[in-house]
């Protein structure tokens, strides 16, 4: 396994909800564990020269969540501190897109009314495009994220005024 492949694997694990991964082949053995939001590379033994093995510890900006993935998917909204507005939050780490393609209109714009279950954006994670639906009916007051920018788990995406 090449150093770039190891780095790509660590990046993949850092963006996934996995806490621990073990991979073993005839040529190498790798164990990656996440503790307290930091991904650490442990016990790498391979046929590669030592100089090509990376020392890589990316910090994940969100702390380890205690909720289950089922709970995460069903609660992407929470009341914000801005009056009676509801915040639609990202249920995952990925790239935020306001439209399904660059040449089509945005799913929603400021001032648009949305219904519960209506798609408001897409979050792309690991080449999968996940449609994010509104959990409430209301009017879009503010878009909090720029198009094609990275988002974190539980990051606010939209402010919605309930109807």
H or E element in which residue 14 lies: helix 3-14
User: Cα separation of 40 and 19, whole Å?
Assistant: 11
* List of domains in the chain: 3-52 (no CATH), 69-162 (2.40.50.100)
DSSP 10: H
In total, the chain counts a number of residues equal to: 163
Which pTM was predicted?
A: 0.51
Taking CA atoms, 161 is separated from 19, 77, 79, 86, 143, in Å, by 37, 12, 10, 6, 12
* pLDDT averaged over 10-residue windows placed end to end, the chain, 163 residues: 69 70 72 56 45 43 41 38 82 95 95 96 93 95 96 95 93
User: Cα separation of 22 and 28, whole Å?
Assistant: 11
CA angle, 43 then 48 then 53, to 5°: 55
Looking at residue 28, its pLDDT comes to: 66
Q: Are strands 28-35 and 20-24 parallel, antiparallel or unpaired?
A: antiparallel
User: Cα separation of 145 and 157, whole Å?
Assistant: 6
Q: Is 142 helix (H, G, I), strand (E, B) or coil?
A: strand
Looking at residue 132, its pLDDT comes to: 95
Instruction: Find out whether 52 and 3 touch, Cβ atoms under 8 Å.
Output: yes
Neighbour tally for 141: CB within 10 Å: 17
């Amino acid at each position: 396994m090449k150093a770039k492949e190891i780095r790509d694997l660590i990046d993949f694990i850092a963006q996934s909800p996995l806490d621990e991964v073990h991979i073993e082949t005839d040529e190498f053995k790798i164990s990656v564990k996440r503790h307290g939001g930091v991904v650490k590379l442990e016990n790498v033994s391979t046929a590669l020269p030592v100089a090509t093995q990376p020392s890589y510890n990316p910090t994940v900006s969100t702390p380890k969540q205690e909720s289950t993935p089922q709970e995460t998917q069903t609660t992407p909204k929470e009341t914000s501190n801005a009056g009676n507005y509801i915040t639609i939050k990202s249920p995952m780490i990925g790239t935020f897109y306001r439209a399904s393609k660059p040449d089509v209109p945005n799913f929603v714009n400021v001032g648009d009314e949305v219904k519960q279950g209506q798609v408001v954006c897409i979050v792309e994670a690991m080449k999968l495009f996940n449609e994010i639906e509104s959990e409430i009916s209301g009017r879009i007051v503010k878009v909090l994220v720029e198009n094609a920018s990275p988002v974190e788990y539980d990051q606010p995406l939209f402010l919605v005024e309930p109807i």
